[in-house]
Structure 1
Amino acid sequence: MDPYRLTVTQALSNIKNGSLTIEQYARSLLSRVQERDSTVQAWTHLEPDHVIEEARRLDRVPFGERGPVHGLPVAVKDLIYTKDMPTQYGSPIYDGHAPELDAASIIVLRQAGALILGKTTTTEFASTQGGPKTCNPHDPTRTPGGSSSGSAAAVGDFQAPVGIGSQTGGSVIRPGSFNGVYAFKPTWNAISREGLKFYSPILDTIGFFARCVDDLELVTDLFDIEDDEAVISEFTVRGAKFGVAKTVVWPKAGPGTKMALESAAQLLRSHGAEVEEVELSSEFDRMPEWHNVLTENEARATFLPEYRLAKEKLSPFLTGRIENVNKVSRAAQLEAYDGIAALRPKIDEIAKGYAAILTPSVVDEAPLGLQSTGSPVFNSMWTALHTPVINIPGFKGANDMPIGISLVAPRYHDRRLLVVSKAVGAIFEAEGGWERKL
């Protein structure tokens, strides 16, 4: 097997036993990038010579002095500060911008021995729905999703084993689904966001892409994300209880998502689980409205500096936010803050009754074209509620494109969610019907 096809767990094992050097691993990934990047276009900045130089430096570190993920290649969303690479936020205002420090998340990764491969594409400030240049690796005529477009596409195309992204609405979970990979949005603020360009401080969450749960667990370990309760090392689906939450936006679900959610529930039942529909009270029906209020009003403060600096280089979407063209009041903003805050402990209590709650990741398979990155309508509620969410691949739409299902847990039950997702993912990948062809 070519090294670029290895999972992180496999590759790091080979590096530790000496059968694979970090330089060999990096060269294999760079070869894959060279072969595929003209089609996928996942990167905004990648310098092969710099990657090889860093790989050689990491190879020279004595085994006894190496970090827990020494040699792990990571693709970083171009919204996150990296001191040796440009950070341009998908905006012409910051073309060539080079910060002199790393974001907190990058510091943690580097100190653990990670190899930062390069920067990946994002929509403008991770905000607008208009897509960047990146194409879906499974069908270049379709979007990879956004705003963490490049990170998800790079992982889905085997150009990187792990990608780092961020989510304000659905910018980790949605592209995870569209690209057929696992995507993990931890509990809000479980990972420091220092050095991440904000859209909404009350919503923005750093997350990760990988091709298996084992790899997500390795990365999660680095950030000391822990549950209060002791986490079981293994989980058995048989005898477990799952909930299915369609939520108020269910009428927007396409046929692919309807079939995927139905199939997911049937598969769990066939493996001995109890699955029941979760009837959320009507107070949750305002979540989409409240999420939109927060993104509209928080953008007014976040992007005011860019508006004052170079209004002509901002998209009409963002200038409209700053100018408050929709006339969203401060009273509405306060109502949204308070209404969502009141619902967080309520969804925690509901979710504690299940191994996990199943809910759609997307409206349907990735839409055609790059003009839109798809709708986050099925993600925004969980982002606002601050719950951990994982997209699990395995299902497909009418055009044989991947469709994932989300698993949701109470806040700060991240580690248990990962353990549950490993068992559920094994079933969905084996029996869900979608097969990776790359």
Structure 2
Amino acid sequence: MTAGPAMMRLAALVEARETGRARPDHMVALSRDAIARLDGRIHAFAHVAEDPAVSAEGPLAGIAIGVKDIFDTYDQPTCYGSPAYAGNRPATDAAIVALARRAGATIIGKTVTTEFAYFEPGPTVNPHNHAHTPGGSSSGSAAAVASGMVPAAIGTQTGGSVIRPAAFCGVAGYKPSYRLLPTTGMKHFAPSLDTAGLFAASVADVAVFAERLTGRALAAGPVDASTITVGVYFCPQLDGADEAMRLALEQAAEAAVAAGFTVVAVAEPRPLMLAREAHGLIQDCEAGLACGPDLDRFSDSMSPRLREAIRSGLMVSPQDYDDARRLAKRGRGAARTLFDDVDVLLTPSAPGAAPEGLASTGDPRFNKLWTLMGTPAVNIPGFSDAAHMPLGVQAVARFGHDRTLLSVASRLEQAFAEAR
């Protein structure tokens, strides 16, 4: 893959601070300067803090973080990507924002989101080619990291809103096991699916971010490849992936073999196939319930696409919703059985590279199943298509096995780089 924009490496910044080679205020100043230079073209930020607090203490001291603008912040506007909430000033922080502040991070600004984290795009462009989408709904978070404005950012995923923009922008995007990160204080769209996620330049960087943010042992550790089985996941959606993406998945499997992993083919079990189809109905119904009050009050301020989604959700019957939830439950049982035989699955992060144009944020077909299953997933960057646009490979692991996922994915990222 040809060199893209120069990114800030979170792990390197942390090490520089801890060894006395960099001061937290200087580290934050790097991000402030980069935003001033670059965001006029990238449009990753909906709001930039005028005088952000910089802490000298804490595991994330000196790390400037972009926060997706569906998380409440008491000191910056929170507009949920919608004119309906223009100028909204919450009284308190979302739980994950408070967690970041307690760890010493600097909340440098609010990153652009699609409206209510659904499909109506914001102004953000792809840092690799401004004529292409950055993905969504965590558009600004992925683009802010990819363009080198911040070393880390927070986003969310309800379908594919962390993994897909990470793939399109060529960064690591980590969707943890459901509820590992708190979602209190975010604008919910589908509460049983909404998952907070993280972005950084590489898998190792996003793992360091996750560990220092949460206090959990999540930083990527050494891996004995001979003890790990990697499954290449074959599902009907692969027919919709483009040739470059299928080739990248092939090359990823070859690199895993070369690195000493056992690699096997895994066919999608029928319960998981059915669960994937249930995702949309669950999302729609919950969006109707969660956002119906917004429709009642702010219909004229919403995009037609969002209005229609909420109205459709309000029409879903309780019986249909319960039937879909039963399919999801059976799918989770099948997923547990699947991971009895493999440690990590590999599948495309998206059907291909970022599509040209800004009217669409891309297709979540390879992501929504794993969101519904609640399993941890991470985009591993490192491949590109003929036009030098990033392609990502998604790694997925058993629910709760986040550190295993991040450790294996970090080793795979190295293997991909060695194979190029």
Q: Indicate conservation of the 8 Å contact 1:183/1:209, yes or no.
A: yes
Give 3-state SS (helix, strand or coil) of 1:250's partner. helix
Q: Indicate conservation of the 8 Å contact 2:8/2:150, yes or no.
A: no
Q: Indicate conservation of the 8 Å contact 1:393/1:429, yes or no.
A: no
Give 3-state SS (helix, strand or coil) of 1:278's partner. strand
What does residue 135 of structure 1 align with? 125
What does residue 21 of structure 1 align with? 23
Identity rate of aligned residues, in percent? 35
CA displacement at 1:94 relative to structure 2: 0.4
1:308-387 alignment runs, 5 A limit: 308-324=296-312, 328-387=316-375
Range 18-27 or range 297-306, more displaced: 18-27
| Matched AA of 1:69 | L
Instruction: Choose from 227, 230, 248 the match for 2:236.
Output: 248
Range 401-410 or range 216-225, more displaced: 216-225
What does residue 107 of structure 1 align with? 98
Instruction: Choose from 182, 186, 189 the match for 1:192.
Output: 182
Once residues 188 and 329 of structure 2 are traced to their aligned partners in structure 1, the CA distance between those partners, rounded to angstroms, is 20
Q: Indicate conservation of the 8 Å contact 1:242/1:354, yes or no.
A: yes
Once residues 410 and 163 of structure 1 are traced to their aligned partners in structure 2, the CA distance between those partners, rounded to angstroms, is 24
TM-score normalised by L of structure 1: 0.90
Q: Indicate conservation of the 8 Å contact 1:348/1:409, yes or no.
A: no
- Between the two proteins, the alignment pairs up a number of residues equal to 414
Once residues 15 and 180 of structure 1 are traced to their aligned partners in structure 2, the CA distance between those partners, rounded to angstroms, is 26
Give 3-state SS (helix, strand or coil) of 2:234's partner. coil
Instruction: Choose from 409, 413, 418 the match for 1:425.
Output: 413
CA deviations on 1:37-69 (whole Å, 9 max, x unpaired) are: 12111000003x413xx23xx24xxxxxx2122
CA displacement at 1:286 relative to structure 2: 1.8
Once residues 46 and 344 of structure 2 are traced to their aligned partners in structure 1, the CA distance between those partners, rounded to angstroms, is 36
| Matched AA of 1:144 | P
1:34-183 alignment runs, 5 A limit: 34-47=36-49, 49-51=50-52, 54-55=53-54, 58-59=55-56, 66-128=57-119, 130-183=120-173
Q: Indicate conservation of the 8 Å contact 2:288/2:313, yes or no.
A: no
Give 3-state SS (helix, strand or coil) of 2:324's partner. helix
Once residues 232 and 295 of structure 1 are traced to their aligned partners in structure 2, the CA distance between those partners, rounded to angstroms, is 32
Q: Indicate conservation of the 8 Å contact 1:80/1:197, yes or no.
A: yes
Once residues 236 and 120 of structure 1 are traced to their aligned partners in structure 2, the CA distance between those partners, rounded to angstroms, is 38
Once residues 187 and 345 of structure 1 are traced to their aligned partners in structure 2, the CA distance between those partners, rounded to angstroms, is 15
What does residue 218 of structure 1 align with? 208
What does residue 387 of structure 2 align with? 399
> Is residue 2:270 matched to residue 1:282?
yes
Once residues 292 and 38 of structure 1 are traced to their aligned partners in structure 2, the CA distance between those partners, rounded to angstroms, is 36
| Matched AA of 2:229 | K
CA displacement at 1:239 relative to structure 2: 5.6
Once residues 285 and 387 of structure 2 are traced to their aligned partners in structure 1, the CA distance between those partners, rounded to angstroms, is 38
| Matched AA of 1:379 | N
Once residues 260 and 290 of structure 1 are traced to their aligned partners in structure 2, the CA distance between those partners, rounded to angstroms, is 28
| Matched AA of 1:81 | D
Q: Indicate conservation of the 8 Å contact 1:193/1:206, yes or no.
A: yes
Q: Indicate conservation of the 8 Å contact 1:225/1:415, yes or no.
A: no
Once residues 166 and 235 of structure 1 are traced to their aligned partners in structure 2, the CA distance between those partners, rounded to angstroms, is 28
Assess, with a 3 A threshold, how the Cα gap between structure 1 residues 100 and 143 changes in structure 2: closer, same or farther.
Answer: same
Once residues 366 and 232 of structure 1 are traced to their aligned partners in structure 2, the CA distance between those partners, rounded to angstroms, is 28
Q: Indicate conservation of the 8 Å contact 1:297/1:321, yes or no.
A: no
TM-score normalised by L of structure 2: 0.94
Please list every run of at least 4 consecutive aligned residues from structure 1 whose deviation after the TM superposition is greater than 6 angstroms: none
What does residue 257 of structure 1 align with? 245
Once residues 240 and 5 of structure 1 are traced to their aligned partners in structure 2, the CA distance between those partners, rounded to angstroms, is 30
Q: Indicate conservation of the 8 Å contact 2:287/2:313, yes or no.
A: no
What does residue 436 of structure 1 align with? none
| Matched AA of 1:7 | R
Assess, with a 3 A threshold, how the Cα gap between structure 1 residues 200 and 257 changes in structure 2: closer, same or farther.
Answer: same
Range 137-146 or range 296-305, more displaced: 296-305
Once residues 6 and 334 of structure 1 are traced to their aligned partners in structure 2, the CA distance between those partners, rounded to angstroms, is 45
Give 3-state SS (helix, strand or coil) of 2:51's partner. helix
| Matched AA of 1:204 | D
CA displacement at 1:36 relative to structure 2: 1.4
1:262-277 alignment runs, 5 A limit: 262-277=250-265
Q: Indicate conservation of the 8 Å contact 2:375/2:397, yes or no.
A: yes
What does residue 3 of structure 2 align with? none
Q: Indicate conservation of the 8 Å contact 1:79/1:89, yes or no.
A: yes
| Matched AA of 2:76 | M
What does residue 408 of structure 1 align with? 396
CA displacement at 1:338 relative to structure 2: 1.2
CA displacement at 1:271 relative to structure 2: 2.5
5+ unaligned residues in a row in structure 1: which ranges?
60-65, 434-438
RMSD: 1.9
Once residues 430 and 45 of structure 1 are traced to their aligned partners in structure 2, the CA distance between those partners, rounded to angstroms, is 39
Once residues 232 and 156 of structure 1 are traced to their aligned partners in structure 2, the CA distance between those partners, rounded to angstroms, is 21
